[in-house]
């Protein structure tokens, strides 16, 4: 019986837990992953990444990728873009897959139809039985109820490509998984819960970890901007304490300001409000815990600072929101790709009317095959001013297109401009007419089309039509055209990889 093929992606910053995670994945039964893609996301790679020596069935299946060191979203993108299996299973480097995890994953994936983009695994956090859990242990224990946590989450690779993968504007391990899932759901896919389970032990954490976690308030600002006021309801995220944190911090600031100005009438009630808010927070964290002297002391001093940390990160999120929104967002895969002809699909022979002179560009056949295999539509948009100049006839131009079609496979609708530069038509690139007409014939909105060409007029036509443009430079491409292009690929196969997989241009060129 055949099972769904899958790769496993594990981002890591070199935590010691990796040495237990990989052997656990290797043990047990069930189909093996095609590959385990270990994304080394350490900023300092001077030391060798420590890995266990005895990997059993996984020996020879582990590939180490150099991560971008820009946070877990970027690391996971590097991992799934290198994957080739139908499914990509994301695991964190601090989870322990039990012996039946691989078999459970296969069973979960086998049940899913084509409309289902993802399968969520269950997370079990072992909490102490002989005492009440600490505040940090309860925090980690919340993963058991978290929706779409990438500690164990399997996505179809095609679905990841369709929405552009993780949004790298989320720099922390916080909300990037919810953002991805909401975009996948908005794209019309489903997400199902599976029956498999991983263990997530509670690791060591510094006493001030609860203060560091307040940085997530800045990401909540971005979530609201991207997904609207009701994003918490849609993502199953509790309301949290931020309104109370803001009120307590405001009271503290007002009390300090009143005292500095000698205004007892302002300082006294504000100080009372701050003290009441701080005491309520501290008790809310102390009451369910073990109430040991150390835990109570930690809860007391961190509760003094927590409202200010939460408010500070929230305000920082508001201040930085505009700049974060200006950064590149995930680019969904287009529904159609329109190709320029001369210099892009076939070698540029000026004003060619002879089918015998048609020569495909290197990699053109493979690139087009990949586009067709992905189910995208194809079209051609081409300026042919030689007709207006009297250097070839429309029939000769058509014959060249037919020869191109015969060599490279079906090219879909062809939109050709026969006018010259001085004819003031609306179709000669960089005008958008050819792109708009091809999109209409394909039944695809221009915004869901991409245009691939070798000169600035190609990408400018795409921009004016509201489509996405990718430049593939050749020796005739001017340096200023390359500098002005939003996206540049080194060759046709790289351009197709960029559009299908969401791989950034710098990775496409690697």
**Does 219 reside within a domain?**
yes
**Residues 125 and 48 occupy one common structural domain:** yes
**Residues 451 and 434 occupy one common structural domain:** yes
Q: What is the DSSP letter of 32?
A: P
Q: What is the pLDDT of residue 503?
A: 61
Buried b (16+ CB within 10 A) or exposed e, 199-220: bbebeebeeeebbebbbbbbbb
**Residues 49 and 185 occupy one common structural domain:** yes
CATH of the domain at 389: 3.40.50.1000
Tell me what percent of the residues of the chain surpass a pLDDT of 90.
Answer: 85
Q: Does residue 24 have a pLDDT over 70?
A: yes
**Residues 369 and 415 occupy one common structural domain:** yes
Question: What whole-number distance in Å separates Cα of residue 378 and Cα of residue 332?
Answer: 17
**Residues 211 and 199 occupy one common structural domain:** no
**Residues 314 and 390 occupy one common structural domain:** no
**Does 1 reside within a domain?**
no
**Residues 231 and 99 occupy one common structural domain:** no
Average pLDDT over residues 376-395: 94
**Residues 21 and 51 occupy one common structural domain:** yes
CATH of the domain at 72: 3.90.550.10
Q: Which of 167, 186, 205 lies at the terminal end of a domain, its last residue? A: 205
Q: What is the pLDDT of residue 501?
A: 78
- Hey, which residues are catalytic here? 340, 342
Q: Which of 324, 355, 378 lies at the terminal end of a domain, its last residue? A: 324
**pLDDT tens digits for 55-96?**
888 988 999 998 889 999 999 999 998 899 999 999 999 999
Number of independent structural domains in the chain: 3
Q: Does residue 40 have a pLDDT over 90?
A: yes
**Does 222 reside within a domain?**
yes
Helices 216-227 + 293-326 axis angle, to 10: 40
Q: How far is CA 155 from CA 76, 175, 228, in A?
A: 12, 17, 24
**pLDDT tens digits for 282-292?**
999 999 999 99
pTM (2 d.p.): 0.82
Question: What whole-number distance in Å separates Cα of residue 330 and Cα of residue 188?
Answer: 17
Q: What is the pLDDT of residue 46?
A: 81
Nearest C-alpha neighbor of 344 from the set 367, 320, 310: 367
Q: In whole angstroms, what separates CA 166 from the centre of its chain?
A: 2
Q: Does residue 507 have a pLDDT over 50?
A: no
Average pLDDT over residues 116-125: 97
Tell me what percent of the residues of the chain surpass a pLDDT of 70.
Answer: 98
**Does 330 reside within a domain?**
no
**Residues 410 and 313 occupy one common structural domain:** no
**Does 331 reside within a domain?**
no
Q: Which of 275, 295, 324 lies at the terminal end of a domain, its last residue? A: 324
**Does 116 reside within a domain?**
yes
**Residues 45 and 97 occupy one common structural domain:** yes
**Residues 367 and 459 occupy one common structural domain:** yes
**Residues 20 and 144 occupy one common structural domain:** yes
Structural domain including 25 reads 6-205
Q: Does residue 412 have a pLDDT over 70?
A: yes
Q: Does residue 50 have a pLDDT over 80?
A: no
């Amino acid at each position: 019986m055949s099972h769904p093929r899958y790769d496993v992606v594990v981002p890591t910053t070199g935590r010691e837990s990796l040495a237990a995670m990989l052997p656990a994945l290797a043990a047990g039964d069930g189909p093996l992953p095609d590959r385990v893609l270990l994304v080394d996301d350490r900023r300092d790679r001077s030391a060798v990444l420590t890995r266990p020596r005895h990997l059993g069935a996984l020996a020879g299946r582990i590939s180490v990728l150099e991560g971008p060191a820009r946070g877990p979203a970027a690391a996971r993108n590097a991992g799934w873009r290198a994957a080739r299996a139908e499914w990509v299973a994301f695991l964190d480097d601090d989870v322990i897959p039990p012996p039946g995890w691989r078999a459970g994953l296969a069973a979960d994936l086998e049940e899913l139809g084509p409309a289902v983009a993802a399968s969520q695994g269950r997370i079990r956090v072992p909490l102490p039985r002989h005492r009440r859990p600490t505040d940090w242990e309860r925090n980690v224990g919340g993963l058991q109820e978290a929706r779409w946590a990438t500690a164990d989450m399997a996505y179809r690779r095609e679905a990841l490509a369709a929405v552009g993968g993780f949004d790298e504007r989320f720099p922390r391990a916080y909300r990037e998984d919810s953002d991805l899932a909401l975009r996948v759901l908005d794209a019309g896919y489903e997400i199902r819960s599976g029956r498999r389970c991983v263990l997530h032990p509670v690791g060591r954490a510094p006493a001030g970890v609860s203060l560091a976690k307040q940085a997530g308030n800045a990401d909540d600002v971005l979530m609201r901007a991207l997904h609207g006021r009701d994003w918490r309801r849609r993502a199953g995220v509790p309301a949290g304490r931020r309104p109370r944190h803001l009120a307590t911090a405001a009271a503290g600031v007002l009390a300090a300001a009143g005292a500095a100005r000698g205004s007892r009438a302002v300082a006294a009630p504000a100080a009372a409000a701050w003290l009441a808010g701080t005491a309520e927070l501290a008790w809310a964290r102390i009451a369910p815990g073990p109430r040991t002297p150390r835990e109570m002391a930690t809860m007391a001093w961190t509760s003094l600072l927590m409202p200010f940390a939460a408010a500070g990160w929230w305000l920082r999120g508001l201040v930085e929101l505009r700049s974060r929104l200006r950064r590149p967002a995930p680019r969904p895969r287009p529904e159609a790709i329109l190709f320029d002809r001369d210099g892009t699909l076939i070698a540029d022979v000026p004003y060619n009317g002879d089918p015998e002179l048609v020569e495909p560009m290197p990699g053109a056949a493979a690139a087009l095959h990949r586009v067709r295999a992905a189910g995208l539509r194809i079209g051609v948009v081409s300026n042919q001013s030689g007709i207006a100049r009297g250097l070839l006839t429309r029939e000769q131009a058509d014959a060249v297109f037919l020869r191109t079609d015969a060599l490279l496979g079906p090219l879909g609708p062809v939109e050709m401009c026969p006018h010259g530069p001085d004819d003031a038509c609306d179709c000669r690139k960089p005008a958008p007419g050819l792109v708009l007409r091809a999109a209409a014939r394909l039944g695809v909105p221009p915004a869901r089309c991409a245009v691939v060409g070798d000169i600035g007029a190609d990408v400018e036509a795409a921009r004016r039509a509201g489509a996405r443009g990718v430049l593939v430079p050749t020796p005739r491409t001017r340096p200023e055209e390359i500098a002005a292009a939003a996206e540049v690929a080194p060759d046709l196969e790289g351009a197709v990889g960029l559009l299908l997989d969401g791989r950034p241009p710098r990775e496409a060129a690697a």
